[in-house]
Structure 1
Amino acid sequence: MNRLIDEPQLVKLRASLAAENELMQRGIFTDLDTGRDYFTGYAYETLYDWDQYFEAIIQIYMGWPSDYIKNGVTIFLNHQRNSGLISRSVPSNEMHDPEHVKPFLAQIGLLVAQNYGETDWILNEHYFPRLQRYLDYWLEEMDENGNGLSEWMSAPHSGMDNQHERAGYWGDRFCEGVDLNAYLVRELRAFAALAVAYGKRHLADTYRQTADELAERIRTLLWDEEDGFFYDGNGRFHNPPRSQHAGWASTLNAIPNDPLIRVKSVSAFAALWAEVATPAQTRRMIVEHLFNPREFWSPYPIAALARSERWYSQDRLPNDLGCNWRAKTWIPTNYIAYHGLRAYGYRELATLVAHYTHKLVLQAGNREYYDAEDGRGQGLNPFWGWSLLAHFLPYEESRENDMTSLGEVGE
């Protein structure tokens, strides 16, 4: 049973979100391979990787049962190859096939365990080993140069489809993403919490240590002291280009003689959400960048790309792929920044992010993303996916607990 089903404040809030709840019914589909029903925010029926983490939180707050959340995870695990690779969407396609599912499956599993008290569906001999193999694939197969940092295959792989300047095109594989490795820190810790619940404490200790070591690498290898910013690592450092786009990308900052890709993206604030930044690093990220109107604090914050970047544009640029992550505001990255601020004790600033995020969605409606300069809703319309998180920010503001917390099962 959903632990929040009868929470009075949420019951009242749900009543005001009856239209959104009805809209979400349009996102229930059936996976043809497994016969299982799942939820997605996309009318074209695709189940995506990190989307379902944030969609799971929405389902919990809406008072939904756990079925669609659990099915989303097990559908991915049922599509795992022998190598451990799981393509990042269901159904997949030839471009997604080699791109490993983003590291959120254990975090979703932990959400279910903490909010529904259900663990048997994932902590069993069939799915738990698959979960471990998928995580090991990130650590072992997606660290091409062996420096302990995993790489995105492309900007679309990162989910920030057209941030090619930092993450490249299909198959470029040069970006050791701050976001990716921060997500991995959280995923390792979530997996460890599940391992404890499964009675595998030694395994949990191993993965916690791996998380600690990865956090230290992010703090040291991806931090630029002069700029006071976390940049993605450059996998091309002292290595030859991988693909036909290499020459183009090299002119954009992923250059062989620089260990960092000097593009300021909202993705960097994942380092705060994963709590890997030092207090001093956090303060600089917040004061010098997040709330800087010349960078991320746009008229309708938080901009996906710093306003100081020459690729910051309200319009798509030539050769852009997918959705626009330039002069745009996306609710899930606002949510990540919000919880990063809370994690380090910046409650008043977190409240400011919550206020502007909630106000934006109320004014522009339930859309896929928003223009960071004029606040217009853009992308899918209507949208019943992760943008609905904004409606629950006032509720989270009134509570001490954090839905994204990685505490042990039962805490």
Structure 2
Amino acid sequence: MIRELYRQYKDRWLLELTFDRLLRWNRWWPQHRDTGGLLCWGSDKVPPDEAAHTWQGAAYESGLDNSPMFDGVPFNTKTNQLQLADVGLTSLYIADCNALAELAQVLNRPAQAAELRQRAGTYGQALQMLWSEEKGIFLNRRTDTGQFSDRLSPTLFYPLLAGVATPIQARRMVDEHLLNPAEFWGEWVLPAVARTDSAFTDQNYWRGRIWAPLNFLVYLGLRNYDLPDARKQLVDKSNQLLLKNWRASRHVPENFHVSGVGRLPSEALNRSDSFYHWGALMGFMSLLEQDKAVELKKTTD
């Protein structure tokens, strides 16, 4: 976000104010969440948090509090990590390295820029180890057994955001999984777990519901590749879902039931907040696409 603000407004003072703290945070992850060259979610002993240093604490760190991706994955109390090399986390970290490297160049800090690019390259090479040629997608892998996980989530598309996926890999991920109505596609998208997953029918928080941040990050990844049809379809479906709820109830939901409403009348109030800031990302993608079209027209004119 700091990079995007700088690109828009060119405020160097913002970079000078934040860069060192962002760099310290970037350096923290390899020291505390690396196992075998890939990153895992974890939780340190931080009293008085009752969830700290537990499986649940590590799930909370991911933000995907009850995702089925973590079902049955042991928490290693010695490493403070879930024993799962995580595609989404590793991809987000690579994207963070790339963004900070760009800011380091602006600040004329070549040593830090080189350091960040080196880390992005190292983790990018390691991330390719999580590619499944058989399945046509990057998969999380257990660090205790070495086995791939078969739980599918939109976070597995984040290598697009990191720019690590090859064009061929990106096309397979989109054609075989993203646009597959048996997994992530449908009238309303994207569910937080594939429709084929046994947890999908739970429709409980990250177990099958639709979340704007997931759609938004996948959209940003699609922008890095020549996949205009998939990008447009995701943008249109996301915007339609937001407008459907806004017109019906003036709600901007925290998340959406896959039937297309923020919360069913029978569901508890805490299943989905009716007015939540990140719900608006469903429409923001459409605004970004309009800006993109305007800029393209300017360049072609």
1:131 and 2:22 correspond? yes
Give the counterpart of 2:150 among 262, 286, 289: 262
**Could you tell me how far apart the structure 2 residues matched to 1:306 and 1:264 are?**
6
Equivalent pair of 1:298/1:307 in contact (CA under 8 Å): no
2:48 is aligned to: none
Matches of 2:114 and 2:138, distance apart in 1: 28
Per the TM alignment, residue 164 of structure 1 is displaced from its structure 2 partner at its CA by 4.2
Number of the residue aligned with 2:88: 179
The whole-number CA distance in structure 2 between the counterparts of 1:292 and 1:199 is 45
Match of 1:367 among 249, 253, 262: 253
In the alignment, which residue of structure 2 is the partner of 1:383?
275
**What TM-score, normalized to structure 2?**
0.80
- Tell which has more relative contact order, 1 or 2 (C-alpha 8 A, sep 6+): 1
Distance 1:315 1:227 in 2: 25
Q: Percent identity?
A: 28
Cα distance, 1:341–1:122 mapped onto 2, change above 3 Å: closer
AA paired with 1:311?
Answer: A
Find 1:274's aligned residue among 162, 165, 177. Answer: 162
Counterparts of 2:147 and 2:139 in 1: how far apart (Å)?
10
Whether 1:155 and 2:41 are equivalent positions in the alignment is: no
2:115 corresponds in structure 1 to 206
Classify the secondary structure of the residue corresponding to 1:370: coil
Deviation track 1:320-372 (CA, whole Å, cap 9, x = no partner) reads xxxx1122111111112222223211112211111110000111230000012
Q: Which residue of 2 aligns with 1:188?
A: 97
Q: Please say if residues 181 and 214 of structure 1, whose CA atoms lie closer than 8 Å, have aligned partners that are also in contact.
A: yes
Tell me the residue number matched to 1:319.
Answer: none
Residues 148-182 of structure 1 show CA distances to partners (whole Å, capped at 9, x for unaligned) of 11111222221111114437587652222111011
1:368 and 1:387 in contact (8 A); partners too: yes
The whole-number CA distance in structure 2 between the counterparts of 1:304 and 1:380 is: 14
Q: CA deviation at 1:122?
A: 4.1
| Cα deviation 1:23-61 (Å, max 9, x = unaligned) | xxxxxxxxxxxxxxxxxxxxxxxxxxxxxxxxxxxxxxx
1:397 equivalent in structure 2: 289
Q: Deviations over 1:163-204 (max 9, x none)?
A: 144375876522221110111111001111111122111220
**Aligned residues, how many?**
262
Whichever structure has more helix as a proportion of its residues is 2
Query: Which residue of the partner structure matches residue 200 of structure 2?
Result: 312
Q: Give me the whole-angstrom Cα distance separating, in 2, the residues matched to 1:134 and 1:340.
A: 23
Q: Report SS of the residue matched to 2:141.
A: strand
- Kept in 1, the 8 Å contact 2:256–2:272? The answer is no
Q: How far is 1:380 from its partner? A: 4.1
CA distance in 2, matches of 1:370, 1:217: 34
Where 2:223 maps in the other structure, the secondary structure is helix
Give how far 1:398 is off. 2.3
Cα shift readout 1:255-286 (whole Å, capped 9, x = no counterpart): x2x33222111110111122110111111111
- 1:28 maps to none
Give CA deviations for 1:288-345 in whole Å, capped at 9, x if unaligned.
11111111113311111011112222443xxxxxxx1122111111112222223211
Q: Which residue of 1 aligns with 2:229?
A: 348
Aligned residue runs from structure 1 range 51-130, under 5 A = 108-123=1-16, 127-130=18-21
TM-aligned CA distance change 1:138 to 1:265, over 3 Å: same
Distance of aligned partners of 1:151 and 1:401 in 2 relative to their CA distance in 1, 3 Å threshold: farther
Letter in 2 for 1:328: R
2:207 is aligned with 1:326: yes
Q: By how many angstroms is 1:394 displaced?
A: 2.6
8 Å CA contact retained: 2:211, 2:254 = yes
Listed as ranges, the gaps of 5+ residues in structure 2 are 43-57, 247-251, 264-270, 295-301
Gap runs ≥5 in structure 1: 1-107, 237-255, 317-323, 403-411
Letter of the 1:387 counterpart: G
Does the residue aligned with 1:156 lie in a helix, a strand or coil? helix
Alignment partner of 2:182: what SS?
coil
Instruction: State the distance in 2 between where 1:130 and 1:391 align.
Output: 31
Query: For the residues of structure 2 that align with 1:380 and 1:264, how far apart are their CA atoms?
Result: 22
CA contact (8 A) 1:228 1:284 kept: yes
TM-score, structure 1 normalization: 0.60
* Contact 2:137 2:173 (8 Å CA) reproduced: yes
Alpha-carbon distance in structure 2 between the residues aligned to 1:204 and 1:401: 32
Match of 1:286 in 2: 174
